[in-house]
């Protein structure tokens, strides 16, 4: 055991003497987290998405078209969309090309007169082709307004027809007629006004959570980073482990292991020294970088025991994975290629960049059954959802099952090469 500790400490000292690439990789999760926060965090951190930018082109310049623009610009809509008037289609095209807007709404000439005539009035909608979700949100908002407008139009269609007959001279204007139109408008708006109570409704979205707390990214930047940083940290740890493991492979290729075997060190000491070196390095890095993230991003650390069990489990898994790869590889290039493919597959499937709890049900269940996905979600559950060790038991068990399997596989592969047992 003493020999194994000496071998592990020797490897660790070599890493500390030349930490340049290691420090560069440690900076990766911090950089990616800041980029995500710059793109989404300022609104997502308070539970909101950025409002969708909609352009409005009024080619009709009628009372009805101006009413539609005012409806899109209403205070109740500003949380979801922001409407801006443009002078012509070319201006809208330029803004689309600069990705400054998600949709264009056009009221063509004749829009207001068609409504007065009781005919179908057309509203033209154009989504920005380079965007995916925002144009759909804009289209849904417009559909909602059109639905409400159709209800209003149905209530006041009769007085509108009377006004049209007045203006065209088909019916002579009289005090009784004007009074009747006013009463019809009043009655129509009174019926429609009952819909105004909808604006008093308050809808809160809450992800199912046994603790009873909203399972969103939170109302502070710290909770936003607690939601995304664990996956980015595990992702960086994969590549750091690849560099650390390749050092062992190169030692083997250069004959360092053979020279150690000529000393009193046993083959078992060499094997367990390498395992201890890799697990200890990854575990310490996870703890140090996690602590730094809590200081830099304001992440509130809670339930240290759960975090320690999860971080140790994922460290053992990653170490076992890399040791298995180098135990089977013949060259460092082959090991690096195999590790890179496996890492990207696990990262995408496990929810590195988009936490797996936001995945569709099938992919979410799949992500929670692979080690990095289970560990990441377990850490998020502790930091964001305030869950206890018992409540994240399934994630802990999944992580440690995979860790045990790959550690055993690594021992078998390296032991066979060293001809142990």
The CATH number covering residue 57 comes to: 3.40.1710
Looking at residue 163, its pLDDT comes to: 61
For residue 324, give the nearest of 243, 406, 230 by alpha carbon: 406
pLDDT surpassing 50 at residue 52: yes
The tokens describing 108, both together, are 């063509």
| Residue 410 resides in a domain | yes
Q: How many domains are contained in the chain? A: 2
Give the pLDDT band (50/70/90) at residue 286.
very high
Q: What is the mean pLDDT of residues 353-359?
A: 78
Q: How confident is the model at residue 292 (pLDDT cuts 50, 70, 90)?
A: very high
Q: Inform me whether the pLDDT recorded for 389 exceeds 80.
A: yes
Do 60 and 40 belong to one domain?
no
Average pLDDT over residues 66-76: 81
Same domain, yes or no, for 289 and 344? yes
What integer is the mean pLDDT of 10-21? 80
In a shared domain, residues 267 and 394 = yes
pLDDT tier at 305, thresholds 50, 70, 90: very high
How much is the pLDDT for 166? 57
Q: Which of 334, 375, 350 is nearest to 245 (CA)?
A: 334
Q: Check: CB of residue 197 under 8 Å from CB of residue 188.
A: no
What is the reported pLDDT for 354?
A: 77
Residue 309 has what pLDDT?
A: 96
Average pLDDT, the chain: 79
Residue 301 φ/ψ, nearest 5 degrees: -80, 135
Do 157 and 235 reside in the same domain of the chain?
A: no
In this predicted structure, the answer to whether residue 219 has a pLDDT above a threshold of 50 is: no
Per the domain annotation, does 252 fall within a domain? Answer: yes
State the DSSP code for 85. Answer: E
Is residue 61 scored above 80 in pLDDT?
yes
- pLDDT value at residue 247: 84
Q: What is the pTM of this model?
A: 0.61
Based on the domain organization, do 235 and 297 belong to the same domain? yes
How much is the pLDDT for 218?
41
In a domain, 208, yes or no: no
Cβ-based neighbours of 312, under 8 Å, separated by 6 or more: 283
Residues 227 and 315 in one domain: yes
| Top-confidence range, 200-209, 299-308, 408-417 | 299-308
Residue 65 lies inside a defined structural domain of this protein: yes
User: Do residue 87 and residue 29 come from a single domain?
Assistant: no
**Angle in degrees, CA 239, 282, 321, rounded to 5:** 60
**41: Cβ–Cβ under 8 A, 6 or more apart, which residues?**
221, 224, 225
- Say yes or no to pLDDT of 329 above 90: no
- Specify the higher pLDDT residue, 398 or 10: 398
DSSP structure string for 134-151: HHHHHHHHHHHHHHHHHH
Tell me, yes or no, whether 40 and 57 share the same domain: no
Number of residues written out for the chain: 421
Q: Indicate whether 210 belongs to any domain.
A: no
List alpha helices for 213-303, DSSP H: 221-253, 256-261, 267-297
Q: Say yes or no: 63 and 114 in one domain.
A: yes
How does pLDDT run across 75-131, given as a tens digit for each residue? 767 777 889 999 999 999 999 988 889 999 999 998 878 777 777 788 899 998 877
Report yes or no on 200 lying in a domain.
no
Reported as a pLDDT band with limits 50, 70 and 90, residue 191 is low
Which range in 66-75, 148-157, 319-328 is most confidently predicted, on average pLDDT?
A: 319-328
Task: Output 50 or 301, whichever has higher pLDDT.
Answer: 301
> 37 and 56 share a domain?
no
DSSP alpha helices (H): ranges in 98-174? 111-116, 133-168
Domain range for 359 is 2-44+220-418
Confidence band (pLDDT; 50, 70, 90) for 379?
very high
Quickly state the pLDDT bin for 220 (edges 50, 70, 90).
Answer: low
* Residue percentage of the chain with pLDDT more than 70: 75
| pLDDT for residue 30 is more than 80 | yes
The pLDDT value recorded for residue 68 is 84
Q: Would you state the structure tokens that stand for residue 174, as one six-digit string?
A: 């009289």
Within a domain: 203? no
Higher pLDDT, 52 or 259: 52
Is residue 171 in some structural domain? no
pLDDT band at 172 (very low <50, low <70, confident <90, very high): low
User: Best-predicted range by mean pLDDT among 24-33, 251-260, 403-412?
Assistant: 403-412
Res. 279 pLDDT band, cuts 50 70 90: very high
Among all chains, which residue has been given the structure tokens 């005539």?
A: 117
- Do residue 39 and residue 155 come from a single domain? no
Say yes or no: 34 and 68 in one domain.
no
Residue 134 has pLDDT above 60, yes or no: yes
For the segment 222-244, the average pLDDT, to the nearest whole number, is 89
């Amino acid at each position: 055991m003493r020999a194994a500790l000496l071998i592990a400490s020797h490897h660790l000292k070599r890493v500390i003497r030349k930490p340049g690439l290691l420090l560069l990789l440690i900076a990766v999760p911090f950089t990616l987290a800041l980029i995500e926060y710059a793109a989404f965090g300022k609104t997502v951190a308070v539970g909101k998405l950025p409002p969708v930018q909609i352009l409005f082109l009024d080619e009709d310049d009628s009372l009805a078209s101006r009413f539609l623009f005012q409806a899109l610009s209403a205070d109740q809509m500003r949380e979801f969309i922001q409407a801006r008037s443009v002078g012509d289609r070319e201006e809208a095209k330029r803004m689309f090309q600069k990705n400054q807007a998600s949709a264009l709404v056009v009221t063509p000439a004749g829009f207001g007169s068609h409504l007065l005539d009781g005919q179908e009035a057309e509203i033209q909608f154009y989504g920005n082709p380079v965007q995916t979700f925002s144009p759909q949100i804009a289209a849904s908002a417009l559909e909602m307004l059109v639905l409400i407008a159709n209800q209003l139009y149905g209530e006041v269609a009769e007085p509108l027809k009377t006004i049209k007959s007045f203006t065209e001279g088909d019916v002579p204007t009289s005090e009784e007629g004007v009074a009747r139109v006013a009463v019809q408008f009043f009655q129509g708006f009174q019926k429609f006004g009952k819909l105004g109570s909808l604006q008093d409704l308050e809808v809160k979205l809450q992800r199912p959570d046994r603790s009873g707390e909203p399972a969103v990214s939170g109302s502070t930047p710290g909770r936003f980073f607690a939601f995304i940083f664990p996956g980015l940290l595990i992702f960086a740890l994969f590549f750091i482990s690849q560099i650390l493991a390749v050092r062992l492979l190169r030692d083997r290729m250069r004959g360092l292991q053979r020279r150690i075997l000529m000393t009193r060190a046993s083959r078992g000491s060499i094997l367990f020294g390498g395992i201890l070196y890799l697990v200890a390095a990854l575990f310490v890095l996870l703890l140090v970088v996690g602590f730094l993230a809590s200081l830099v991003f304001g992440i509130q650390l809670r339930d240290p025991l759960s975090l320690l069990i999860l971080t140790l489990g994922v460290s053992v898994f990653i170490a076992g994975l890399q040791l298995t790869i180098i135990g089977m590889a013949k060259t460092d290039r082959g090991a690096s290629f195999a590790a890179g493919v496996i890492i990207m597959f696990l990262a995408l499937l496990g929810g590195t960049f988009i936490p797996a709890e936001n995945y569709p049900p099938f992919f979410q269940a799949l992500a929670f059954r692979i080690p990095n996905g289970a560990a990441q979600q377990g850490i998020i559950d502790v930091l964001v959802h305030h869950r206890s060790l018992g409540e994240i038991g399934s994630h802990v068990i999944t992580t440690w099952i995979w860790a045990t399997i790959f550690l055993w596989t690594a021992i078998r592969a390296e032991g066979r090469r060293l001809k142990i047992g």
